[in-house]
Copies of this chain bind each other. A is one copy, B any other.
């Protein structure tokens, strides 16, 4: 980007004990394009200040609420006030905060799920469109270079006509009722008031949905869901299995769990076409398998020149040469890089390169909410297929 300065970021959420706010700050900072200069880290002013000290943010710009943040930052000069706000609060606050920030003229990066309902998501989409501002949604897994490579391999037709998709996201960390033993993470994720109507389906099912649609370029058209709550007393689903149909006759399965005991973040996808198949695992993300029944399996390895030749997006998304493993934060940071470059171009009065625009948007956020609602609807029905509308 030709903007000759770092973008100024505010963080809402991310107070003590928060996992994802800290990841946002590290990822945003990594590439030297963004600096964290303000925050409303907690609704508890003391906690917000404590977090501000850890983040080394100027105490003057540590706020006790998002409303205060918006108000005070607007009063600052253009040279000083934040360019964009990152929202990492519990899910139920995403929508009101995003709306308020956009209305105040701040660009936004929002954690997923974007809102609590599809209705809210559509409303937010309207706000974003009217505002003309840059809105990014943190579906971090599509930031992995090998995911971008996989998408481009599919786009270039190397898999032939797509036929089948298997996507999974098994976790085991909610095998026991951790929400009852004081885990903050488990607490809000299993609380309908803060997480929304879905548990595992919302938290990680949307990642599986987003990854499969991103890679195939196809939308899920209908699905058949079987969701469960295995841990007694838990108020949201902790396991979900779906038969799915995509556009163009592609079929598949999507399954997620938080009681898959012993699994960590086993997001993985297999896509089979008439010419080749592919396989990718989030926990070993630097490798992509491309295979057919006619010759040796090909293992593509991140960071090599041949990767960039095949996929400019994958090449651009790698910081390190081959053999130096990149991980979760780098994928996360790739979303920020594209968001920042798009925003930087905007602020510099330039057009963003199409490669910069490769980050999740409000449309992805809406797809996620539609997915959640379709799964919940299907799970209640006795009929096999439930349509997923756009």
Q: Which A residues form the contact surface with B (CB < 8 A)?
A: 4-6, 19, 22-23, 25-26, 29-33, 36, 53, 55-56, 159, 163-164, 166, 168, 170-173, 175-176, 224, 226, 228, 230, 239, 241, 243, 245, 251-253, 255, 257, 259-266, 270, 272-279, 282-286, 289-301, 303-304, 306, 319-330, 381-385
Beyond A261-B272, A284-B284, A299-B299, whether A323 also contacts B266 by CB under 8 A is yes
Indicate if the CB atoms of A253 and B241 lie closer than 8 Å. Answer: yes
In the assembled complex, 30 residue pairs joining A and B whose CB atoms fall closer than 8 Å, in A order, are: A22-B319, A26-B31, A26-B319, A29-B32, A32-B56, A164-B259, A166-B255, A176-B274, A224-B224, A241-B252, A241-B253, A260-B270, A262-B272, A262-B276, A263-B272, A283-B286, A284-B325, A286-B327, A294-B306, A295-B306, A296-B299, A296-B300, A298-B298, A320-B329, A325-B325, A325-B328, A326-B329, A382-B385, A383-B383, A383-B384
Contacts of A26 in B (CB 8 A): 30-32, 319
Closest Cβ of chain B to A388, distance in Å, is 15
Closest Cβ of chain B to A221, distance in Å, is 13
Distance A235 CA – B325 CA, assembled complex (angstroms):
30
Contacts of A56 in B (CB 8 A): 4-6, 32-33
Indicate if the CB atoms of A257 and B272 lie closer than 8 Å. Answer: yes
Closest Cβ of chain B to A9, distance in Å, is 12
Beyond A323-B171, A382-B383, whether A296 also contacts B285 by CB under 8 A is no
The 9 closest A-B pairs by CB, nearest first: A264-B323, A262-B291, A265-B323, A325-B327, A324-B328, A262-B277, A261-B277, A296-B298, A327-B327
Closest Cβ of chain B to A354, distance in Å, is 22
Distance A46 CA – B270 CA, assembled complex (angstroms):
46
Indicate if the CB atoms of A292 and B175 lie closer than 8 Å. Answer: yes
Of A6, A228, A381, most B-chain CB atoms within 10 Å:
A228
Known: A4-B56, A175-B292. 5 other contacts (CB 8 A): A26-B31, A172-B292, A175-B293, A294-B306, A324-B328
Closest Cβ of chain B to A5, distance in Å, is 6
Indicate if the CB atoms of A260 and B241 lie closer than 8 Å. Answer: no
Q: Which residue in B226, B297, B324 is a CB contact (below 8 Å) of A243?
A: B226
Of A23, A243, A384, most B-chain CB atoms within 10 Å:
A384
Copies of this protein in the complex: 4
Indicate if the CB atoms of B319 and A329 lie closer than 8 Å. Answer: yes
Contacts of A328 in B (CB 8 A): 320, 324-326
Q: Which residue in B251, B278, B282 is a CB contact (below 8 Å) of A239?
A: B251
Contacts of A33 in B (CB 8 A): 56
Indicate if the CB atoms of B172 and A277 lie closer than 8 Å. Answer: yes
Q: Which residue in B279, B285, B321 is a CB contact (below 8 Å) of A325?
A: B285
Distance A45 CA – B383 CA, assembled complex (angstroms):
54
Closest Cβ of chain B to A387, distance in Å, is 13
Distance A243 CA – B251 CA, assembled complex (angstroms):
14
Distance A144 CA – B166 CA, assembled complex (angstroms):
26
Contacts of A226 in B (CB 8 A): 224, 243, 245, 251
**Minimum CB distance partner of A174 in chain B:** B293
**Minimum CB distance partner of A171 in chain B:** B323
Contacts of A285 in B (CB 8 A): 325
Distance A325 CA – B263 CA, assembled complex (angstroms):
14
